[in-house]
Amino acid sequence: MRSKEKLEDIARNIRKDILKMAVNSGTKGAHIGGSMSAADILAVLYGDIMKYNVDYPEWDGRDRFIMSKAHSSIGLYAALHYAGFLQEADIEGAMQGESILFKHPKLDLTHGLEFSGGSLGQGLALGVGSLLSMRRRGNSASNVYVIMGDGECDEGSVWEAASSAVHFELNQLTAIIDTNGLQNDGTTSAIMNIGNMVDRWKSVGFEIIEVDGHDVEDVRRALLIQANKPKAIIAHTIKGKGVSFAENKVEWHIGYVTQEMYLQAMEELK
């Protein structure tokens, strides 16, 4: 088990990689806000929780990770860089030219990308399908972790998948809801007020745990809890966490990072 300081260091480097990919992408812009809010969660998953093998990426005993809010792909790419699936050159060239790293993730097991993504509301269903497939193969040891956005929970497909997970007793499934209160168009409460997130997931039949999504020890504690039903971690976060010009600002769902902004942000992350 890694120390709190080590996990925080991993999260800091994930945020630095996010900024590097953003500034290098130029005026095309990059999804900074939701990637930053998920950085601490990704650090704990890839730094201390998930089973994976860089030398044998198709090992069936591995845990599966799905970035359902696929616009936050650069956060995932940064985590895969830490894990060893991606190299520094991949990060430097992300979303440019002939890069294998796009604005949304594309299936590529060799580089640790378990699923393609794009349309919101699909990741939890992919997790359900994956676990049903693993069950048929006799794999009861692997876990599936799905990071979703709170805005993504506007999608009806999320709740169909959640009901299926409970019905099929998929206790190896963990949904992590990155609850930062903002989505592309504004606040989640103004765009589609779905009520209390805890009550909503509990009503479907999930085991519920609330955490501070920027406290690595709190996140780890929640991920290690063994439940006899599918688990939903409601992670309270700040969009754009770690960079003052982006924190809690809806306009940084996607934005253009200038060289000046990049240098300021990297200084703040020290």
- Write down all domains in the chain, each with its CATH number in brackets: 4-269 (3.40.50.970)
| Beta bridge mates, 148 | 177
- Residues 6+ away with beta carbon under 8 Å from 252: 32, 33, 239, 240, 245, 246
**pLDDT tens digits for range 167-192:** 999 999 999 999 999 988 889 998 89
Task: Specify the DSSP class assigned to residue 46.
Answer: I
**Rounded to the nearest 10 degrees, how much is the dihedral formed by the CA atoms of 128, 199, 75, 218?**
-110
Angle at 234 between CA 230 and CA 240, to 5 degrees: 135
Mean pLDDT of the chain: 96
pLDDT of residue 158: 98
Closest alpha carbon to 107 in 155, 70, 78:
70
Chain position carrying tokens 């640790």: 112
Instruction: Work out the percent of the chain whose per-residue pLDDT is above 90.
Output: 94
pLDDT of residue 174: 98
pLDDT of residue 27: 79
* CB 246 within 8 Å of CB 183: no
CA–CA gap between residue 219 and residue 179 (Å, rounded)? 13
End-to-end Cα spacing for the chain: 24
Residues of the chain with pLDDT under 50: none
What is the number of other CB atoms lying within 10 angstroms of the CB of residue 264? Answer: 16
| Beta bridge mates, 177 | 148, 234
211 to each of 32, 48, 178, 204, how far by Cα in Å? 22, 17, 10, 20
| Helix, coil or strand: residue 183 | strand
* CB 194 within 8 Å of CB 166: no
| Helix, coil or strand: residue 74 | helix
CA–CA gap between residue 164 and residue 179 (Å, rounded)? 22
